[in-house]
Amino acid sequence: MPETKLLLTGANGRTGRAILKSMVDHGITVRAFIRDEAQADALKKLGAAEIAVGDFMDGASINEAVKGVDKLLHIGPPMHPDEIGISHRFIDAAKAANLKHFIYYSVMHPVRRDVRHHKLKLDVEEAVIESGLPYTIVQPSRYMQHLVPIWKTIVSEGVHSMPFNVDKLFNVVDLRDLADACAVIASEDKHFYAVYELAGPQALSQRDMANVISEVIGKPIEARAVPFDVMAEKAKAAGANDDRVTQMLAMNKHYDRHGFRGNPNILEYILGRPSRRYKSYVQFLAESAA
């Protein structure tokens, strides 16, 4: 069987690293597209066979990066205002190189147009579908990994806090399952021309999640909604620019009103197994942090 070589964009992010690892585990040769060459060694340790240094705004570096690969999985930069322009550069490069498969990492429910990064991803999906390339679009839900940056606070203070209603339901999904699904999709031709909603197996509120965490660690955990102004100030203090803060507010206000429900069937079909449940992930995180 001939070697499959795939260009992975956004390779150094949390999502990209998880996908890179799973691609390598599935026998796919990965060329990692990064902006900073200083990231190369870490990605090679994760299994990247090749490194392409370039810039999302530079079409020439993108054209060079696609040379010699068969497939491309594009992860756009989070909440970037020019996601359409960035994605078009990769679509155009993929068409010029006659790639066999273009995989776009979108978001669940891109039709939620009052959230800008959902709307932009919907516009990119349209461009992918109309590109003439064999494509697959994956639409992931919110990650279980939202726990990672707040885990120590949850354990020490006994509070699970997110900036939306504690009773709205979310089909959170384990990033490891999403990564495995992407690797399966890249490994098999039967996923051409598909759009896949990838959601976790349980509809859980923040209160439900707090109860699960409490059960796992043996300590009462309270679910608490973070006020939007507090969230905005924390984001600014962490270095988020005004546009990013505005989009985070829009997203969280939308989730505060509507939640983020999805269906797990397609993810389990792709994986060929049940997807991970929230308690399993919390147990994994608790053991990893111990």
Taking the C-alpha atoms of residue 158 and residue 98, their distance in angstroms, rounded to an integer, is 53
Span 221-246, pLDDT tens digits = 999 999 999 999 999 999 999 999 99
Residue 245, pLDDT score? 93
Residue 259, pLDDT score? 96
Total residue count of the chain as it appears in this document:
290
Residue 13 has pLDDT above 70, yes or no: yes
Start-to-end C-alpha separation, the chain: 43
Span 16-71, pLDDT tens digits = 999 999 999 999 999 999 999 999 999 999 999 999 999 999 999 999 999 999 99
Three-class secondary structure of residue 79 per DSSP: coil
Residue 2, pLDDT score? 60
Taking the C-alpha atoms of residue 220 and residue 192, their distance in angstroms, rounded to an integer, is 47
Three-class secondary structure of residue 202 per DSSP: coil
DSSP letters spanning 51-64: EEE--TT-HHHHHH
Span 112-147, pLDDT tens digits = 999 999 999 999 999 999 999 999 999 999 999 999
Token code pair at residue 92: 């155009």
Span 135-184, pLDDT tens digits = 999 999 999 999 999 999 999 999 999 999 999 999 999 999 999 999 99
Is there a contact between 140 and 180 (Cβ–Cβ < 8 Å)?
no
- Within 107-227, residue ranges assigned H as helices are 116-129, 151-157, 175-187, 206-217
Taking the C-alpha atoms of residue 283 and residue 218, their distance in angstroms, rounded to an integer, is 12
Pairing type for strands 135-140 and 101-105 reads parallel
Work out the percent of the chain whose per-residue pLDDT is above 90: 96
At residue 40, φ and ψ (nearest 5 deg) are: -65, -45
